Amino acid sequence: MVFLTKELVFPPHYLANEDGLLAIGGDLSTERITLAYQNGIFPWYAEDEPILWWSPDPRMVLFPEKLKVSKSMKQLFKKQKFEVTVNRCFDEVIKHCAAIPRKGQADTWITEEMMTAYKKLYDEGLAYSVETWENQKLVGGLYGVLLKEQQVFCGESMFAQVSNASKYAFIWWVKELERKGIRLIDCQVYTSHLASLGAEEISRADFLEMIK
């Protein structure tokens, strides 16, 4: 296992363990996190852990053109069930994502340290939030990091306070990203929810080749 120093560098991906853990330590500076995403690495750790950096194999991704929209969701879009905005309230979105209980997780990985780091990314124009509104109330959304030069959006977390609010935001955003020429959505690790929306697992080698 590699322990990071102040030097802005990450070890080769093949040094990751079988779970995808690549390195420990370092910091959450905007420069380091940006470098990580550009190289297919992301931070993910609990409150009582050091900073952990991951590069899993396989990698869960969504090609925008393969997005699956169920009949029920198509009906919601036809009815314009929710209003959708971008970057209207990033702070509120990430706070809601941190507060949502996760199955199998005792606490959130979106620590205060992580929230501060991603707010800085937002201030630099690198992180984005997508919000869904119902009757002028924030009811769902998501956030992540947009690598414009690499044409990749790295999704981080979603939340919903009413049924389908986060899924609505996700579908809307994927379609918007496709119109903007984004060719890949990085979903990081497998979940059945993402698979139902068309996401699939590819090898780490293929993923790294795509984001070069």
pLDDT > 70 fraction of the chain, expressed in percent and rounded: 96
φ/ψ of 3, rounded to 5, equals: -105, 125
Continuous H helices in the chain: 30-38, 71-78, 90-99, 112-123, 165-179, 192-196, 204-210
Question: Residues 28, 129: one domain?
Answer: no
- Rounded CA-CA distance 10/208 in Å is 14
- Residue finishing a domain among 22, 39, 54: 54
- Write the pLDDT tens digit of every residue in 74-85: 999 999 999 999
- Residue finishing a domain among 39, 54, 69: 54
- Write the pLDDT tens digit of every residue in 94-109: 999 999 865 554 456 8
Question: Residues 63, 46: one domain?
Answer: no
Instruction: Please give the tally of structural domains in the chain.
Output: 2
Question: Residues 68, 151: one domain?
Answer: yes
- Given a contact cutoff of 8 angstroms between Cβ atoms, the answer to whether 51 and 90 are in contact is no
Predicted local distance difference test score (pLDDT) of residue 23? 98
Question: Residues 87, 184: one domain?
Answer: yes
Look up the CATH number of the domain holding residue 47. 3.30.70.3550
Range of the domain at 36: 2-54
Question: Residues 69, 99: one domain?
Answer: yes
**Looking at residues 48-58, what average pLDDT do you find?**
96
Question: Residues 20, 63: one domain?
Answer: no
Question: Residues 187, 138: one domain?
Answer: yes
Question: Residues 181, 88: one domain?
Answer: yes
Question: Residues 144, 103: one domain?
Answer: yes
Question: Residues 43, 85: one domain?
Answer: no
- Write the pLDDT tens digit of every residue in 168-191: 999 999 999 999 999 999 999 999
- Given a contact cutoff of 8 angstroms between Cβ atoms, the answer to whether 159 and 141 are in contact is yes
Question: Residues 46, 124: one domain?
Answer: no
Look up the CATH number of the domain holding residue 110. 3.40.630.70
Query: Tokens 């420069």 appear where?
Result: 31
Question: Residues 195, 151: one domain?
Answer: yes
